[in-house]
Structures are given as structure tokens and as C-alpha cells.
Amino acid sequence: MGSEIRITKDGALCCPWCGEDGEYLHHQCVTVYERVEDAERVTVTRVSPHRPTTVEIIPSRESDNPSARRNGLAIAFWCESCQGISELTIAQHKGFSHLDWRKSKLEMFGTCACGSPIESPGREICFACYSEQQK
Ligand SMILES: [Zn+2]
Ligand SMILES: [Zn+2]
């Protein structure tokens, strides 16, 4: 995605969409992509706050590994301001470690009727629709 990685002067990571207004980021699923250089398969481990940990070995090209050839890491964050879920990625590339943001494809707690992901467990609708209903 190529968004700037912004950190407030107090050390808080900012949402890639909201910038300084989006410092309320809630850490969600962490995904580790373990791969020997150019290997056909990658081991994908996911640790989520409300789900059992999963480990899968899948073809590298289907994996969403942020690194083209080696190891990668993705940490998903949910932003209170825009309700967006973004993943901070760390990709090994020719010995460098590149940081970037990408829009998350993760299904957190299902999908709301409006098409947005549901951000919290035990809810049927997304936060935006919930807020709308409370008015
Ligand atoms: Zn945001
Ligand atoms: Zn909704």
C-alpha cells in the first residue's frame, strides 16, 4: 500500500487512514509467515484475540506473505476513529526489513449487512451501524 508509518511524539502508532487523529489502534490478529528463501510453501501461523491459534502450510503464492521471497509478519489493528482494520507488515527483502501498511483481508468476527467487518465478538453488526441505531 505504501502508506507512511506515523508515530506520535509519545510513541503511539497512528492509523494509516486517520494519521494523528487515529492513535487509538487496537491490536488484533498477528500473522507470521515462515518461509525459506523462494520455497514453494510457507508456514502461516495466526494468533487472534478471540480465536484458537491456527498453523497452516500453504503455497507461497496464495499466502499474502508481505515478503516476495522470505519471511514476513503482519499485525492487524482496528482503529477507533475510522473503524478500519489495517495490517502493519514487516517483510524481509534482500536482507532489509521493510515496514508497510496494507488493508486487512481478515474476517475478524464476520461481516455486517452493510459489508463492513464486525469489530467485536458477540455482535451481529459493525460499530458504525450500531452507533447509527443508538441515535
Ligand atoms: Zn483510522
Ligand atoms: Zn454495518
Q: What's the 62 CA to ligand 2 centre distance in angstroms? A: 29
40 belongs to a structural domain? yes
Q: What is the dihedral of CA 69, 36, 47, 17, to 10 degrees?
A: -10
Q: pTM of the prediction?
A: 0.78
Give dist(CA 42, CA 44) in Å, integer. Answer: 6
7 belongs to a structural domain? no
- pLDDT band with cut points at 50, 70 and 90 for residue 130: confident
Mean pLDDT in residue range 55-75? 94
2 belongs to a structural domain? no
129 near 113, Cβ under 8 Å?
yes
88 belongs to a structural domain? yes
Give dist(CA 118, CA 39) in Å, integer. Answer: 35
Q: Which ligand has an atom closest to residue 132 CA? A: 2
- Three-class SS string for 59-121? EHHHCCCCCCCCCEEEEEEEECCCCCEEEEEEEEECCEEEEEEEECCCCCCCECCCCCECCCC
Sign, Cα dihedral of 78, 83, 85, 90: negative
Q: Which has the closest alpha carbon to 34: 5, 2, 74?
A: 74
116 belongs to a structural domain? no
Q: What's the 41 CA to ligand 2 centre distance in angstroms? A: 36
130 belongs to a structural domain? no
119 belongs to a structural domain? no
Q: Which domain holds residue 44?
A: 25-107
Per residue in 12-60, pLDDT (tens digit) is 999 998 888 899 998 889 999 999 999 999 999 999 877 789 999 999 9
pLDDT for 108: 63
Q: Which helix (H) or strand (E) holds 131?
A: helix 127-133
125 belongs to a structural domain? no
Q: What's the 7 CA to ligand 1 centre distance in angstroms? A: 13
Please tell me the total count of domains within the chain: 1
